[in-house]
Amino acid sequence: MPKMMKTGIEGLDRVLCGGLLHHNSVLVKGAPGCGKTTLGIQTVYNGAVMFDEPGVIVLFEQFPQQLYRDLMSYDWDIEKLVRENKLRVIFSSPDQVVAPDKMRESPLVSQIHDAAMEIGAIRILIDSITHILNLASDTRHAREMLLRFINALKSIGLTPIMTAEAENRLGAIGIDEYLCDCVLLLSSEASKDKTFHVRELTIRKTRGHDHLRGRHLFKLSRAGIEVFPLTQAHVSEDIAGERAAGKLEKLSSGISGLDDLLGGGYPRGTSTIITGMPGTFKTTLAAQFAVKGAEPGDKSLIISFTEHPEFFAALMEEKGLRVRAMAREGRLKVWHFTPKESYIEELLYRLEAEMDGNGITRLVVDGINEIERSIEAPEAYKDVISTFLSACASRGVTSLFTQKMDQFTGHSPLTDIRYASMFDGIVYLGTIEIESSVHKVVSVLKMRGSNYSNDLREIVCDNTGIKVLSKFIGLSGVLSGNAQGQYKKNIEELFQPLYFIRDFLEILSTTEMAPDERDAVVQNLRGETNKLVDKLKIHFDVKS
Amino acid sequence: MPKTILIADDNEAVRTILRLSLQFKGYKLIEVDDGAQALAVLKDTPVDLLISDIAMPNMTGLELLDKLRADAGGGAHKQLPIIICSAESDAKRDNIIARGATDFVAKPYRPLEMLEVIAKIFRQG
């Protein structure tokens, strides 16, 4: 395997499976303003600063002042590199590419040659070859001119990185793409939901080495380009084996009554969705796992899509969860992430780095509805969640995701939990109304690899956190999502016959009736009484 | 000629109680599960009174009420006496009567109370 030329843009080097190849010509193509020049300058700059590979930057139809002004928005000191003889910037014009006659080199190539020799340059950026191609009279001429130019650069020992304009990523493939060894396509499109443009990078080809397929998002900041590779983690065999054998270690939820329901706790490396109406303590229940459930060796990460870390900590401190103290001890981090203002891919990229770098064992993702809302293509939601889940599973991280259910659908929560089958566990939080007061309840609907209980338990939350109380008896229908409706239906079914019996006993004792009419009423009363007894038996679980 | 009463309620237990109570008073009954079925019956069967629950599948009692008071059946049911019943705590008697119901009875109700309301409607009609 030849030595790779790293771009120094970490995510891009991952997409390129290590970096570029020395002496491969690289084409960076995209519409105006999508970051081609930035990517090119950054690659040359990083070469000089990080890898001791000096570079040359060739700009057409641009003035030096303009370049230095444009570069002020980045943290790069180009002038310093020039002073240190690690970089040369050549301002030229396209007609300098053309040689006066076939026996001589073009003036630009000579100039590049001299500059490269002077500082021992390895990398070169040509911005852009579109200017050169515009000089050609026809396609054949353009092809010949470009090929000769590329070969001249390669023969000097340089690795050319060239930018080219494209109307859009999906446009016809130009000759430049055939002639270059490695083609990177950039695009930038306005997004209807984000507050910024969505930038994507696709690799068309990389001669001599592999690359990651698919569209990789990137962003531009003061540090230049940052690429977030599309990754798909796989569950490690150790964990898959343990899972299959059903012998996963259990992690405490930090709530003793809930641990009982879960069959000991959440199995290690599993992902559970906590779902319920607003105000049913979903966030607290999940945070309690990260804070109170944590063992001395555990490291927890909480990602909140809605609350700023300080505010989140304050909310949880009110519930007796020592978020601040744990954060000070380095055992807990709280991240705030606004899907509208950034890529989910960026979050995933940082999350994986955090899990690998800091050994996260417990993860809480609060409010995954926000992810769904921020994704343009609904079908991509499943992929995003699946990437989250496999990133956790492959590292043995135990994760909880909270999801808000729609308060007004009144449908079964199971149909409301999107892609419920993707999660190993489902914990449902709901409310029921009993004699005009609202009680909050918890139930474990599913927990793979665990002997969980089907009980419905009441939960309360005070300044010491969540507690799970004893089992409810005799109230069914909480999971219909309309506990109140079910409760009313029960009352109707029990009280209507009771009122009937009482009223008709009254009628019997106060009304003159023919004997057969009286017999009929008595018979109806007997029938309704027996039915009522049966209903009450079922309702209160009375056996005899 | 006994009066014919149409009962729309998806709860079988509630219908049974109504049936036993109303038959005792000699009324003739037709029972359906929801608003849509009630509308179908009313299309070709003469009915003297409708007793309807609110929360029913397919068509709720209030949707049924609106349709009858609008012009379903060519306006033939604009005058049909309608008693709306409900266990919903937010079902307000005044609103339901303003919407076109003849009377409103909260569930669970006593059969004697329901018989009283029916008798009163028929006396006035």
3-class SS string, A345-361: HHHHHHHHHHHHHHCCC
The dihedral over CA atoms of B101, B103, B109, B111, expressed in degrees to the nearest 10, equals -110
Contact A463, A440 (CB under 8 A): no
| Cα of A403 to nearest chain B Cα, Å | 28
Question: Can you tell me the mean pLDDT for A15-27?
Answer: 92
Is residue B47 over pLDDT 60?
Answer: yes
- In which band, very low, low, confident or very high, does the pLDDT at A435 lie, cut at 50, 70 and 90? low
CB atoms B110 and A497 under 8 Å = no
A66 touches chain B (CB under 8 A): no
Is residue A481 over pLDDT 50?
Answer: no
DSSP-assigned letters across all residues of A93-147: -GGGGS-SSTTS--HHHHHHHHHHHHHT--EEEEE-HHHHHTT-SSHHHHHHHHH
CB atoms A491 and B108 under 8 Å = yes
Other beta carbons within 10 Å of B72: 16
**Residues of B in Cβ contact (< 8 Å) with A506:** 112
CB atoms B111 and A503 under 8 Å = yes
Sheet hosting strand A457-462, strand order edge to edge: A332-336, A300-304, A362-366, A398-404, A271-276, A425-434, A437-447, A457-462, A465-471
| Cα of A532 to nearest chain B Cα, Å | 10
Q: Which of B20, B88, B108 sits opposite A495 (nearest CB)?
A: B108
| Average pLDDT, rounded, for chain A | 84
pLDDT at position B8 is 95
A496 touches chain B (CB under 8 A): yes
A462 touches chain B (CB under 8 A): no
| Cα of B44 to nearest chain A Cα, Å | 31
Which residue of A492, A498, A502 to mutate against B (max B Cβ within 10 Å)?
Answer: A492
On the 0-12 / 13-18 / 19+ scale of CB atoms within 10 A, A469 is middle
Rg for chain B, CA atoms, rounded: 13
DSSP-assigned letters across all residues of A190-248: E-SSSSSEEEEEEEEEETTS----S-EEEEEETTEEEEE--------HHHHHHHHHT-P
B26 touches chain A (CB under 8 A): no
Other beta carbons within 10 Å of B94: 8
| Cα of A253 to nearest chain B Cα, Å | 38
Q: Which residue has the higher pLDDT, A361 or A246?
A: A361
Is residue A528 over pLDDT 80?
Answer: yes
Q: Which residue has the higher pLDDT, A9 or A102?
A: A9
Cα gap A357→A11, rounded to integer Å: 16
Chain A 328-347, residues with CB within 8 Å of chain B CB atoms: none
**Residues of B in Cβ contact (< 8 Å) with A507:** 24, 112
A504 touches chain B (CB under 8 A): yes
Poorest-confidence range of A356-370, A405-419, A502-516, B25-39?
Answer: A405-419
In A, minimum Cα distance to B12 occurs at A493
| Cα of B54 to nearest chain A Cα, Å | 12
Q: How is chain B split among helix, strand and coil, in percent rounded to 5? A: 40, 20, 40
Q: Name A432's bridge partners.
A: A439
Cα gap A148→A112, rounded to integer Å: 14
A495 touches chain B (CB under 8 A): yes
Q: Which of A492, A524, A531 sits opposite B108 (nearest CB)?
A: A492
CB atoms A493 and B16 under 8 Å = no
In B, minimum Cα distance to A499 occurs at B110
* Burial readout B13-46 (b: 16 or more C-beta within 10 A, e: otherwise): bbbbbbbbbbebeebebbbbbbbbbbbeebeeee
Helix (H) or strand (E) holding A486: helix A483-510
In B, minimum Cα distance to A531 occurs at B13
- In which band, very low, low, confident or very high, does the pLDDT at A477 lie, cut at 50, 70 and 90? very low
B19 touches chain A (CB under 8 A): no
Question: Can you tell me the mean pLDDT for A52-56?
Answer: 95
Rg for chain A, CA atoms, rounded: 34
In B, minimum Cα distance to A498 occurs at B110
CB atoms B14 and A493 under 8 Å = yes
CB atoms B17 and A493 under 8 Å = no
Handedness of CA A184, A189, A191, A195 (dihedral sign): positive
Q: Which residue, among A263, A309, A302, A268, has the nearest Cα to A285 in the 3D structure?
A: A302
**Residues of A in Cβ contact (< 8 Å) with B17:** 496-497, 499-500, 528
Q: Name A441's bridge partners.
A: A430, A458
pLDDT at position A77 is 86
Is residue A90 over pLDDT 80?
Answer: yes
Cα gap A390→A392, rounded to integer Å: 5
**Residues of A in Cβ contact (< 8 Å) with B14:** 492-493, 496
| Cα of A533 to nearest chain B Cα, Å | 13
Contact A188, A153 (CB under 8 A): no
| Helices B12-24 and A515-539, axial angle in degrees (round to 10) | 160
Contact A292, A331 (CB under 8 A): no
pLDDT at position B118 is 95
- In which band, very low, low, confident or very high, does the pLDDT at A276 lie, cut at 50, 70 and 90? confident
Cis peptide before B108 (omega within 30 of 0): yes
For the stretch A309-344, pLDDT in tens is 999 999 999 999 999 999 999 999 999 988 777 778
Main-chain dihedrals φ then ψ at residue A425, nearest 5 degrees? -135, 155
All structural domains of chain B: 4-124 (3.40.50.2300)
Contact A143, A113 (CB under 8 A): no
For the stretch A164-220, pLDDT in tens is 987 543 444 577 888 899 999 998 887 766 667 788 899 988 988 888 887 888 988
pLDDT at position A476 is 41
If you average pLDDT over each of A78-82, A284-288, A419-423, A480-484, which comes out highest? Answer: A284-288
Instruction: Dig out the tokens for A518 from the structure.
Output: 């009286």
Is residue A238 over pLDDT 70?
Answer: no
Cα gap B12→B1, rounded to integer Å: 27
pLDDT at position A169 is 39
Q: Which residue, among B21, B46, B18, B44, has the nearest Cα to B31 in the 3D structure?
A: B18
B58 touches chain A (CB under 8 A): no
Instruction: Dig out the tokens for B119 from the structure.
Output: 């008798």
B57 touches chain A (CB under 8 A): no
Cα gap A115→A178, rounded to integer Å: 28
Is residue B53 over pLDDT 80?
Answer: yes
- Judge if ipTM > 0.85: yes
| Cα of B60 to nearest chain A Cα, Å | 14
* Burial readout A7-41 (b: 16 or more C-beta within 10 A, e: otherwise): bbbebbbbbbebbbbbbbbbbbbbbeebbbbbbbb
CB atoms B87 and A528 under 8 Å = no
Is residue A535 over pLDDT 70?
Answer: yes
**Residues of B in Cβ contact (< 8 Å) with A489:** 11, 87
Q: Which residues contact A372 (CB under 8 A, 6 or more apart)?
A: A378, A381, A418
Q: Name A206's bridge partners.
A: A182
B112 touches chain A (CB under 8 A): yes
Handedness of CA A258, A262, A266, A272 (dihedral sign): negative
Chain A and chain B share a number of CB contacts under 8 A equal to 55
In B, minimum Cα distance to A519 occurs at B24
DSSP summary character for residue B55:
S
